[in-house]
Amino acid sequence: MRRAVCPGSFDPVTNGHLDIFGRASALFDEVVVAVGVNKSKAKSSSRLFSSDERLDMIADAVSPWPNVRVQGFTGLVTDFCREIDAQAIVKGLRGSGDYDYELQMAQMNAHLTDVETVFLMTDPSMSFVSSSLVKEVASFGGDVSGLVPEAVFERLTARLAERQAGA
């Protein structure tokens, strides 16, 4: 069984992430989307969505692929790969900025373990999409529908409205 892990914080998951999960699902027997669950209160409160909400939104979005599932993890991604017997980490690369950051992580992960990192080039139609930009644009009323799954769009709009009402 060839198993791959797609790790990230996914706050929230975007259509760019989903493109990578779907393409990875065609290359591996099983793909586990691994959501970094931060135990530190300071870090988890900087998220727009709780880890349960992020897991829930991903589970819903990956339901069309029978060989893709989602799981939370704490600690090192390489330890998580060992725990679930995954041979590869799959990540999307949008451009040179991602490459510089991801190369260092891939090399550190290779130093720690024999897990391989596989990079998939982002679909050009998604190369400008990031969770942070989606949140920023949406918070100023910009239209991000089409960049995230519809259910995520609804939850994002509702969460930002709650935050703005409470501010």
Catalytic residue check, 23: no
Catalytic residue check, 2: no
- Region label for 37, one of left (φ > 0), alpha (ψ between -120 and 50) or beta (otherwise): beta
Nearest distance in Å: CB 166, ligand PNS: 25
Nearest distance in Å: CB 67, ligand PNS: 21
Residues engaged in binding ligand PNS (CB under 6 A): 7-9, 36, 76-77, 105, 108-109
Has 166 been labeled as part of a binding site? no
Catalytic residue check, 41: yes
Catalytic residue check, 94: yes
Nearest distance in Å: CB 147, ligand PNS: 16
Choose, from 17, 47, 54, 135, the residue flagged as catalytic.
17
Has 132 been labeled as part of a binding site? yes
* C-alpha closest to that of 155 among 1, 14, 2: 14
**Cα 81-83-85 angle, rounded to 5 deg:** 60
Binding-site residue positions for ATP: 9-10, 17, 92-94, 102, 126-132
Q: Which residues are catalytic?
A: 17, 41, 94, 131
